[in-house]
Amino acid sequence: MNRRQFHKTAAAALTAGWTGLSSPAARAQGRKLYEGLGRPPMKWRIQHSMQINDWKPETLQLAKQLGMEYVNFWTSPDRYQEAVQAVRAAGLEVAKIGNGSVHNVAEITLGLPGRDEKIEEFKQNLRALAAVGVKTQLYAHMANGVWSTANERNRGGAICRAFDASKTPTAAGSNHNSPFDRLYTEDELWKAWEYFVKQIKPVAEETGVKIGVHTDDPPGLTLGNVPRCIFSSFEGYKRALEIADSPNIGMGLCVGTWLEGGDAMGKNVLETIEYFGSLKKLFVVHFRNVSSPLPHFYETYLNEGYMDMYKVMRALRKVNFEGVLIGDHFPRMTGQGPLGQVYTLGYIQALIERANEEFLGT
């Protein structure tokens, strides 16, 4: 179907009373029209996922009430089968599973004794994910995890994570609070990455699991005697993924962390999405906003930070991102229950729907 035929058919449909794709027949006709122009289907197959702490019936019911189709969680491999069965029985799907034992592993990142054992554990985790039909893993390559200073206050007094570089001596890493015994070099870190990725690449490809590597948080600094030199910039990611040279090893883009880095990242977040998304190397996106770039930032509500998050969503739609999108690090609001998460997920869902409508011209 050429463009003239499309407009003629669309006009006829409107004349017949097709308003806003309000009926199943009209939606099917609209989908056929867009496919005739080489456009994707009406439904954007993004895996918008709710992070849950357990798979109790009431937790999964809340996910359903929020209109979620996907959830993600952290647990150990011996519980993967139990968790996945519970989620699927509730009519939901598992987007990804995190395993803290193979996430931010100093032995792997720094090439310390015990590295080979940890790499073997990582391989077994890939096989365990594949065995339950979960095909995405988010992996962070920080030797000492996410660093933060004291929490700060956001809109209305909501509590939020913060980092102030002037207070680095009082900062804490999420899994290694004290400095390592010596300063590591960038060359050592790059060699350790190459060793690791060459080991896991065959298993990732064999199992079909896609590994998205999370952005260093905060990026670009030397923390605890470890320079954050690989997953802290556009060029760092580009080089690391070229070393990996695998369709199953890609980017786990943390939008908030990219915003923390500001100009030092080399490309802004929209350019980064366009580049890696067009290569189909964007597997996971953490969707959050921050007050400002380093040296000091605090995490914000999505509509309070310095980035227009609708532009980010629109960039994801432009490259037809169909990976896992997760809202995380929610503001702690007054009241009972996960109010910050509920607010965030609703906001994200609205952005998804609007970006899709704009992309399709509806």
pLDDT of residue 178: 66
pLDDT tens digits in sequence order for the chain, 362 residues long: 443 443 344 334 333 333 343 445 544 554 554 555 455 546 799 999 999 999 999 999 999 999 999 999 999 999 999 999 999 999 999 999 999 999 999 999 999 999 999 999 999 999 999 999 999 999 999 999 999 999 999 999 999 999 999 998 777 776 665 679 899 999 999 999 999 999 999 999 999 999 999 999 999 999 999 999 999 999 999 999 999 999 999 999 999 999 999 999 999 999 999 999 999 999 999 999 999 999 999 999 999 999 999 999 999 999 999 999 999 999 999 998 899 999 999 999 999 999 999 998 86
Least Cα distance to 284 among 16, 38, 47, 18 occurs for: 47
* Residue position matching structure tokens 């009926």: 23
Exposure of 324 in the CB half-sphere (CA atoms within 13 A):
33
Give pairs for 236-239: CB < 8 Å, separation 24+.
Answer: 237/213, 237/272, 237/276
The β-bridge relationship of strands 222-223 and 210-214 is unpaired
Kindly list the structural domains of the chain, giving each domain's residue range(s) and its CATH number in brackets, ordered by start. 1-42 (no CATH), 46-360 (3.20.20.150)
The four Cα atoms 69, 62, 215, 172 give a dihedral, to 10 degrees, of -170
The DSSP 8-state label assigned to residue 42 in this structure reads: S
| Residues linked to residue 156 through DSSP beta bridges, in sequence order | none
Bond preceding residue 295 cis, omega within 30 of 0: yes
Q: Return d(Cα 231, Cα 346) in angstroms, integer.
A: 30
**Where do runs of H (alpha helix) occur along 170-268?**
186-207, 234-244, 255-261
- In three-state secondary structure terms, 22 is coil
* Residue position matching structure tokens 């310390």: 112
- In three-state secondary structure terms, 39 is coil
* Residue position matching structure tokens 């906001």: 347
The β-bridge relationship of strands 222-223 and 226-227 is antiparallel
Exposure of 114 in the CB half-sphere (CA atoms within 13 A):
8
Q: What tokens were used for 132?
A: 């339950």
Provide the residue count of the chain.
362
* Residue position matching structure tokens 């034992």: 101
pTM over 0.85: yes
Specify the DSSP element, H or E, that contains 120. helix 115-131
Residue type for 313, please? M
pLDDT of residue 179: 77
